[in-house]
Every structure is written in structure tokens, then in C-alpha cells.
């Protein structure tokens, strides 16, 4: 199990993972990311992302479940073996091909996982950049407004210094 908080105030969340027996396997408090490996057993697991400590802001979370060795390889080998009706040489070649295919399949699935992870990092960084961009724009506008007001006050003050307040009689 792997998770990352991509967007939201504080970029943190509580995470709970419960076993099928109801035992707490993992409890992370106010973390922005986490990677957990557990030995599985038969039954339904429950996981929860908890944001009750920060009810004002919502969070965007990327999570990924990676299930290894689910008995898939044994089934693939059985499917290949039922088509083999030949000599030992043919069996050996098919087993070599099967081994190569399984190796490529495993590497491709790892590549997909890494690309998904990189997309999650990119989304998190983009959200942080957009938040910073909005903050800089807001404070720049506030600064610009203050400068305009100050310049108007200065012009008025200078103008009032050079005004002739005497009444002229002509």
C-alpha cells in the first residue's frame, strides 16, 4: 500500500489499515505519504484516510495497492503446458519463452507503477506551484493597491504644501 497527499492544506492525513480480524496493522498520524508492506491473509482488509482534524480543507490523495504473487504465474504456466504435445526439447524451449515473457510482463508492470508514482508526484508539485502562484498574485495586488494609495496621498500632500492659502485682493 502506498499513498501520497497531492493537494490540500498541510498536505497531511491520518491513515489506518485493519486486518480481516479487525486488528490495526498500520496507523499513520498526520503524514503526507506512506509506503506499507504487510503479509496478507484470507479475508477483507479495511483502510481509511481520515481528515477529521482538518475539516475546513479537503484533501486529494493518490493511493496504490500492489498485490504480489497472487498465484497468477502458476496459472499462466498451466495454460501454456496444456498446448505442449511434443518432445522434451519443445518443452524446454516453451519454458524458456514463458520465462522471458513473464520477465517482460513483470518489468512492464513495474514500469507502469513507477510512471503512476511519477504522475502523482507531478500532480502534487503542480498543485503546490499553483497555490504559490495564487498567493504571490494576491499579495502583489495588495502591494500595488497600497502603492497607489500612498502615491495619491503624497501627491495630495505636496500639492497642499504649495497652495497659496492667502486671499488675494485685486
Residues 58-81: tens digit of each pLDDT? 888 888 887 776 555 555 555 555
In whole numbers, what is the pLDDT of the chain averaged over residues? 83
Residues 20-34: tens digit of each pLDDT? 998 999 998 988 888
For position 128, what pLDDT does the model report? 86
Q: Of 38, 67, 96, at which residue does a domain stop?
A: 67
For position 80, what pLDDT does the model report? 53
Query: Within a domain: residue 87?
Result: yes
> Full-prediction pTM beyond 0.85?
no
Check whether residue 159 and residue 76 sit in a common domain: yes
Average pLDDT over residues 104-133: 88
Q: Of 10, 37, 67, at which residue does a domain stop?
A: 67
Check whether residue 57 and residue 20 sit in a common domain: yes
Q: Of 67, 89, 113, at which residue does a domain stop?
A: 67
Check whether residue 123 and residue 88 sit in a common domain: yes
Residue 12 has, within 13 A of its CA and on its CB side, a CA count of 8
Residue 161 has pLDDT above 80, yes or no: yes
Check whether residue 33 and residue 91 sit in a common domain: no
Range of the domain at 92: 71-165
Percent of the chain with pLDDT over 70: 84
Check whether residue 57 and residue 91 sit in a common domain: no
Check whether residue 62 and residue 111 sit in a common domain: no
Residue 108 has, within 13 A of its CA and on its CB side, a CA count of 6
Query: Within a domain: residue 94?
Result: yes
Query: Within a domain: residue 170?
Result: no
Amino acid at each position: 500500500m502506498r499513498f501520497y497527499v497531492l493537494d490540500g492544506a498541510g498536505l497531511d492525513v491520518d491513515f489506518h489499515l485493519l486486518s480481516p480480524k479487525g486488528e490495526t496493522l498500520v496507523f499513520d498520524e498526520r503524514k503526507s505519504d506512506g509506503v506499507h508492506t504487510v503479509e496478507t491473509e484470507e479475508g477483507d482488509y479495511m483502510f481509511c484516510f481520515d481528515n477529521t482534524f482538518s475539516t475546513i480543507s479537503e484533501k486529494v490523495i493518490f493511493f496504490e495497492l500492489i498485490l504480489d504473487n497472487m498465484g497468477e504465474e502458476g496459472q499462466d504456466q498451466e495454460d501454456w503446458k496444456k498446448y505442449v504435445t511434443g518432445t522434451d526439447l519443445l518443452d524446454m524451449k516453451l519454458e524458456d519463452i514463458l520465462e522471458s515473457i513473464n520477465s517482460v510482463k513483470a518489468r512492464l508492470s513495474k514500469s507502469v507503477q513507477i510512471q503512476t508514482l511519477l504522475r502523482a508526484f507531478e500532480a502534487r508539485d503542480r498543485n503546490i506551484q499553483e497555490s504559490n502562484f495564487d498567493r504571490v498574485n494576491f499579495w502583489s495586488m495588495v502591494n500595488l493597491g497600497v502603492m497607489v494609495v500612498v502615491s495619491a496621498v503624497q501627491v495630495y500632500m505636496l500639492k497642499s504644501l504649495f497652495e497659496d492659502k492667502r486671499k488675494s485682493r485685486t
